[in-house]
Amino acid sequence: MRTGGDAGRTRPIDFLPIAPVISEGTEHHMAESPTPAPPASPAAGRRGPTPKSIAVWSLVALAGAIGWATLALSRGEEVSAAWMLAAALGSYAIAYRFYSRFIANRVLKADKNRATPAERLDNGVDFHPTDRRVLFGHHFAAIAGAGPLVGPVLAAQMGYLPGTIWLVVGVIFAGAVQDMVTLFFSTRRNGRSLGQMARDEIGPVGGIAALVAVFIIMIILLAVLALVIVNALAHSPWGVFSIGMTIPIALFMGVYLRVLRPGKVSEVSFIGVALLLLAIVSGGWVAESSWADFFTLEPGTLVIWMIVYGFLASVLPVWLLLAPRDYLSTFMKVGTIGLLALGVVVALPTLKMPAVTDFASSGEGPVFAGSMFPFVFITIACGALSGFHSLVSSGTTPKMVQKETQIRMIGYGSMLVESFVAIMAMIAACIIDPGLYFAINAPVGVIGDSVQSASQAVANFGFTITPDALAQAAADVEEASLLSRTGGAPTFALGMAEIFSAVVGGTAMKAFWYHFAIMFEALFILTTVDAGTRVGRFMLQDMLGNAYKPFREVSWKPGVWFASAVVVGGWGYFLWVGVHDPLGGINQLFPLFGIANQLLAAVALAVCTTLLVKSGRLKWAWVTAVPLAWDVAVTLTASWQKIFSDDVKIGFFAQRDKYQAGIDAGEVLAPAKSMDDMRTVVTNSTVDGVLSALFALLIIVVLVDAGRVCYKAIRDPESVKLHEAPYVESKLVAPASLFATKEEKAELAAAGLGPEGGIRKEPAGTGSRS
């Protein structure tokens, strides 16, 4: 077993004989706590708030409150999108400053002196202590995929207010909490996956149910995200070139930071961003040059390249490709969204969508069917609460985090940033004309394929837009048509183009900004697929390790290659079939995306609540139990409606019965174009309905078993067993946040280290404590 030393080298831990790292299967009774006496609170000895601090945070709270009041109380008046920014940013700031610190210090008691698995098990492949700034970039890029861009756009059908409230309140009390607490408990368990933690801490029945549900859902989520990328990059030489160039740039950054200039994060960041900007600018040039044909790829070709890339990202050392590429992408993501927010402040666009539309109560919206509860909370997943995040928080990130005290910034902070991305998507959807919004997002079967029919259909929805306005909107962004460009991505790109063109270039630049946004979305999502594939590999190795122990060693090469091949083969198969058959492959499973993702969140929150109870934190279990109760109510209600609803727009089996009746009557019903298509729709609806029932049943099994374990832990604490690694004192010194505090700078200086941190040059203490 090896641990991290200087970048590029590993060395044995000289204090492991005193406090050995837990081996698989080792258990600790609560009465024999694996941790020593709790460390002093980080707030111990800290001075109370100063008048300046009180004034600053009071102003932040006031700005947020005014923003919320303006959004909620306006009735018919014009509302600037800047008020949505104020409401969101004020809420995020208060939540991070106070609530996340409360969870880190009081609930979890994060210990900066405790060695993380990245330090104890450093092997330069999967376990590697990674600079907090690089890891923040990796984690954010891995969790921020299609969800925060697409979900809010679709939910805007209900008006801007319901989705905005869920995005902000949901992330503060549910999404960011889930990510942070899952990351903490996985770090305490040598970076074990969510499914394996469920099996270890809940038991074999609930654990196996969780392992099966989590892995199947993971494959579906990855295939859905990959399909969005393929659709965005197909026939786009600009996007293919620019995104393709991020791979060699990332490899260079990895070698630079590991071999050439270890620890020089600022240097490599500057070089990487400069090269990224050059790649983006060059992509526009390539698209207009003779090279355009070479980089114009068909969907099938893109699928092959994505499968190859996903496999490489899963098997190569994490420092070489995955972490630097995600870090590089974060500059692009955060930078673009930051500039978009600045554009809102400068241009002050008006929210044209009503605060709440009639579709919120009727449940008969053209974008998606169903009432506000539960479907707004299913449609908006990433940005508020996303089960996929828990897989990253128990996958790559816990194997790379330097200090437990960084978990707050990485887990809670990155989720707040993703929620802000979702707020910007909501703004983009709501500043365009509502008539144009519905013409873009309603299916062709509802609005027809001409601007005249679309205009009439939109009028039936209660909004107005002329055929000429629809044609002009397409011409402004150099598209033949914007009708029925469903999925959310084109709407976000159009709103983004509206904001940027209002600040730079006017209408003449709108087409440039629109196509830039399409490329940006593809870059945004790709980082989720590559990191997700590696996380899927960890999950599969954990599952197989229960039957064959060598798989438990996550860096065992045969296991790495086999598990990676199975994972990419799984989502790659559904993706390949999906791009060749509009009704097959992942298209068949696409309707399960939202519910499956939120059911996954229920598993994560159930595991976190169980661990809080088992580890003696019963009085704080409400921190995860309350969002768990809400998520269970939402997802099981949605599952029930999807399974049993008589509305063919909602219920899978109702849809199956309708199309089966059509087959029996010899009729072909849209969107089917033949009897073969009709039979495919019947099969798809049946499979979706059965899987919905299966997922709901598996989650109920996990919840019941978790409740049993919690009840037992409360009644008989002495019998509780925890699978937590024993305490080992850390020799690493590193700041907890992006910027070192005055106290942290002094500690770094005393340890003979620069601002990047590292191994103490003069180790303090005895190397262990009991």
Interval 99-115 mean pLDDT: 97
Mean pLDDT value across residues 561-586: 90
Q: pTM (2 decimals)?
A: 0.89
pLDDT averaged over the chain? 89
User: What are the pLDDT digits (tens) for 639-648?
Assistant: 999 999 999 9
- pLDDT digits over 356-406, tens only? 999 998 989 999 999 999 999 999 988 999 999 999 999 899 999 999 999
pLDDT at 29 over 50: no
CA distance 527 to 222: 11
Residue 262 has pLDDT above 90, yes or no: no
The Cα–Cα gap between 359 and 355 comes to 12
Range with the lowest mean pLDDT among 21-30, 397-406, 613-622, 704-713?
Answer: 21-30
Q: Is the pLDDT of residue 582 over 60?
A: yes
pLDDT for residue 437? 97
pLDDT, residue 762, reads 53
- pLDDT value, residue 16: 30
The maximal CA–CA distance of the chain, rounded, in angstroms, is 83
Q: Report the pLDDT averaged over residues 328-336.
A: 89
Task: Give the per-residue SS3 of 707-769.
Answer: HHHHHHHHHCHHHCEECCCCCCECCEECCCCCCCCHHHHHHHHHCCCCCCCEECCCCCCCCCC
Q: Chain centroid to CA 572: how far?
A: 20
Question: Which long-range contacts (C-beta less than 8 Å, at least 24 apart) are formed by 271-276?
Answer: 272/324, 272/327, 272/328, 272/331, 273/328, 273/331, 275/245, 275/249, 276/246, 276/249, 276/328, 276/331, 276/332
Average pLDDT over residues 545-554: 88
Q: How far is residue 339's CA from residue 516's CA, in Å, rounded to a whole number?
A: 13
Q: What 3-state DSSP class applies to 55?
A: helix
CATH 1.20.1740 for the 51-234+297-435+512-722 domain, yes or no? yes
Residue 726 · residue 22 · CB < 8 Å:
yes
Give the up-direction half-sphere exposure of residue 80: CA atoms within 13 A in the CB hemisphere. Answer: 14
Distance (Å) of CA 327 to CA 187, 331, 524, 641: 21, 7, 12, 40
Residue spans of alpha helices (H) in 74-193: 81-94, 101-102, 117-120, 132-143, 147-155, 160-170, 176-187
Please report the DSSP string for 514-554 in residue order: HHHHHHHHHHHHHHHHHHHHHHHHHHHHHHHHTTSGGGGST
Question: Which whole number is the average pLDDT over 347-363?
Answer: 94
Helix 265-287 with 237-255: angle, nearest 10 deg = 160
Helices then strands (H, E): number in the chain? 32, 6
CB–CB of 235/521 below 8 Å?
Answer: no
Amino acid making up residue 256: Y
Residue 2 pLDDT exceeds 70: no
CB of 350 within 8 A of CB of 77? no
Rg (CA), the chain: 26
End-to-end CA distance of the chain: 22
Percent of the chain scoring above 70 in pLDDT = 93
Quote the CA–CA distance of 647 and 655 in Å, as a whole number: 8
Least confident of 20-24, 271-275, 625-629: 20-24
Report which of residues 423 and 76 the model is more confident about: 423
Q: Is the pLDDT of residue 159 over 50?
A: yes
For 420-446, what is each residue's pLDDT tens digit?
A: 999 999 999 999 999 999 999 999 889
Q: Which helix (H) or strand (E) holds 433?
A: none
pLDDT confidence of residue 234: 86
pLDDT tens profile 720-733: 899 999 999 999 99
How far, in Å, are 69, 70, 91, 289, 424 from residue 86 at the CA level?
A: 11, 10, 8, 43, 12
**Residues 6 or more apart whose Cβ sits within 8 Å of residue 301:** none
Say if residue 127's pLDDT is above 60.
yes
How sure is the predictor about 40, in pLDDT bands with cuts at 50, 70 and 90?
A: very low
Helix axes 622-644, 675-715, angle to 10 degrees: 150
Strand-pair partners of 29: 721
Which pLDDT value is given to residue 24?
A: 40
Please give the average per-residue pLDDT across 446-466, as a whole number.
95
319 touches 423 (CB < 8 A): no
In this predicted structure, the answer to whether residue 119 has a pLDDT above a threshold of 60 is yes
- What residue has token string 């974008």? 367
In this predicted structure, the answer to whether residue 7 has a pLDDT above a threshold of 60 is: no
Number of other residues whose CB lies within 10 A of the CB of residue 700: 16
pLDDT at 317 over 90: yes
DSSP string, 198-254: HHHHH-HHHHHHHHHHHHHHHHHHHHHHHHHHHHHHTT-HHHHHHHHHHHHHHHHHH
Q: Confidence class of residue 761 from pLDDT cuts 50, 70 and 90?
A: low
- Is the per-residue pLDDT at 131 higher than 90? yes
pLDDT of residue 46: 55
